[in-house]
Amino acid sequence: MKKSKVDLLIGAQWGDEGKGKVVDMMGADVDVFVRYQGGANAGHTVIVNGQKVVFHLLPSGMLYPGKLCIIGNGLVLDPEQFLAENAGLHERGQDRARLVVSPHAHVVMPYHKILDRAQEAARGKGRQIGTTGRGIGPCYVDKYARNGLRVEDLLDPDLLREKLVPLMEEKNQLLTRLYNEKPIPFDEVYEPAREWGKALAPYVDDVVRLLRAAVDAGRHILLEGAQAVLLDVDHGTYPYVTSSSTIAAGAFTGTGLAPCDLTRVIAVVKAYTTRVGEGPMPTEERGEIGELLRRRGGEFGATTGRSRRCGWLDMMGLKYSMELNGVDVLALTKLDVLSGMDRIRICSGYEYDGRRLDRFPTSSRVLEEVVPVYETLPGWKEDISGCTSFESLPDAAQNFVRFIEAQLDVPVKLIGVGPDRAQTIDRGL
Ligand code: GDP
Ligand code: IMO
Ligand code: MG
């Protein structure tokens, strides 16, 4: 029997590391692409021959003809976004993969999005998370409170009505009494939801069975994480996190695959750090350097268009990330963005209260106050965006890569030198 290969790809920082590009770049060799957590808060960019596609909900493998693309049970699925994204691909002739949705994925309802925004506003200044407003938090709350609607519930109009009546009564109480919002008329939710059910029905299938069959048939499965380790609801910089398990472990609850199915964990690391939304970020550069990284790296959110906060690479966060995920290999992206800098800084430690910390602190409050300790590496002037081998990179760029490998004790098997699929140095990923 042919042995399957199950690769799990995660973002190692605060998101937007270039996961979409790496998934797409690996895609030719992959049989099954899977999203397993998060929802339309993600923005995964793929650029092929100058053509850009941003995936929010669909797996970044959708451009590959004939491949299987799966939305696992762990996602929260916004039906409008799902249908719009799929229709967009269809119009451009890019819906080449076979798409399947788990009946157990929870549905982001219109009231979740309203609640997301109302709760952010109610938190007030200084306590806001800076969510994407996509209804992610409130939908996961309903899932765990066992008040959620799952994709399968949309498929039966009578059952949907039965479940939706009490849910909407509760939501309207919340909206009107607590948040001063207008109540939502039942039919404004029910009628579209029925239509969503009809439109989703052809995609719904037993994902656990399909993945088991793929493993048994020796297929190559690529599990595509969204968000990133430091946004994990348990292990991230709480409360400035998203509401799902973004670490490797989330891939098992979010799909029904078993830990023993896993072959490798691939962590995507950007050559510097970015963060969107609120929360601690020790290496943030608020001045010229931050502006330079933002401009050169095009650091504006793929989902909300917000400016990303930018700063130097942070080894403390990355070491923590390696521990939590058992990372086998690294994909280092956006190395080209650092070209032209005289010196490159890497944070190798934190100081807090006059003491040196030897680990990423458990408390977000402490993290807010740490002072990063930097090592300085020489930069390079050359444009590296056309480099196709490690050896063709300038010595200083090679040293930067080796420094990261030595610090994290994990090999860098892929290097991004530009946004296009082709601008990648593959060192045997
Ligand atoms: P994701 O959420 O992790 O998939 O990342 P995003 O798509 O939100 O953001 C990454 C951005 O960097 C996108 O605009 C990509 O096109 C771009 N990108 C990815 N890899 C590279 C790279 O190696 N070099 C450059 N210059 N841009 C890259
Ligand atoms: P990808 O997959 C970067 C951030 C938001 C906010 C926090 C909570 O493209 O890397 P949420 O809407 O999830 O409740 O927001 O998480 N966030 C992301 N930041 N990349 C993402 O996804 C993100 N998804 C959520 O900015 O700070
Ligand atoms: Mg993104």
386 lines ligand 1 (CB under 6 A): no
The overall average pLDDT reported for the chain is 97
Report the pocket of ligand 2 as residue ranges, CB < 6 Å.
11, 15-16, 41-44, 129-132, 134, 136-137, 226-228, 231, 242-243, 276-277, 302
**Does the annotation count 16 as an active-site position?**
yes
The helix (run of H) or strand (run of E) holding residue 6 is strand 5-11
Q: What is the mean pLDDT of residues 355-362?
A: 96
> What DSSP string describes 58-74?
S-TTTTSTT-EEEE-TT
Query: Which amino acid, residue 25?
Result: M
Residue minimizing CA distance to atom 6 of ligand 2: 131
pLDDT digits (tens, 9 = 90+) for 261-295: 999 999 999 999 999 999 999 999 999 999 999 99
**Does the annotation count 44 as an active-site position?**
yes
Kindly report, as residue ranges, where domains of CATH 3.40.440.10 are found in the chain: 5-105+204-265
DSSP secondary structure letter of residue 176? I
Assigned token pair, 52 = 């850009």
pLDDT band at 350 (very low <50, low <70, confident <90, very high): very high
Other CB atoms within 10 A of residue 252 CB:
19
Q: Is the pLDDT of residue 1 over 80?
A: no
pLDDT digits (tens, 9 = 90+) for 67-115: 999 999 999 999 999 999 999 999 999 888 899 999 999 999 999 999 9
Kindly report, as residue ranges, where domains of CATH 1.10.300.10 are found in the chain: 106-200
What lies within 8 Å, CB to CB, of 249 at 6+ separation is none
Which mutation among 136, 139, 231 tests ligand 2's pocket best, with the greatest number of atoms within 8 A of CB?
Answer: 231
E-strand ranges in 303-364 read 309-311, 313-314, 329-333, 343-352, 355-357
416 lines ligand 1 (CB under 6 A): yes
Catalytic, out of 7, 31, 44, 56? 44
Ligand nearest to the CA of 21: 1
DSSP secondary structure letter of residue 93? T
The helix (run of H) or strand (run of E) holding residue 154 is helix 151-154
pTM over 0.95: yes
Assess contact for 264 and 248: CB atoms under 8 A: no
The CATH superfamily holding the domain 106-200 is Adenylosuccinate Synthetase, subunit A, domain 2 (1.10.300.10)
Which CATH number applies to 269-426? Answer: 3.90.170.10
- Going by CATH, does the domain composed of 5-105+204-265 fall within 3.40.440.10? yes
Residue minimizing CA distance to atom 16 of ligand 2: 242
Assess contact for 276 and 14: CB atoms under 8 A: yes
| CA 302 to centroid of ligand 3, rounded, Å | 5
Ligand nearest to the CA of 227: 2
Q: 125-133 long-range contacts, Cβ below 8 Å, gap at least 24?
A: 128/278, 129/239, 129/240, 129/241, 129/277, 129/278, 129/279, 130/240, 130/276, 130/277, 130/278, 130/279, 130/306, 131/41, 131/242, 131/277, 132/40, 132/41, 132/277, 132/301, 132/303, 132/304, 133/304
| Longest Cα separation, the chain | 66
Residues near ion ligand 3 (CB < 5 Å) are 16, 43, 302
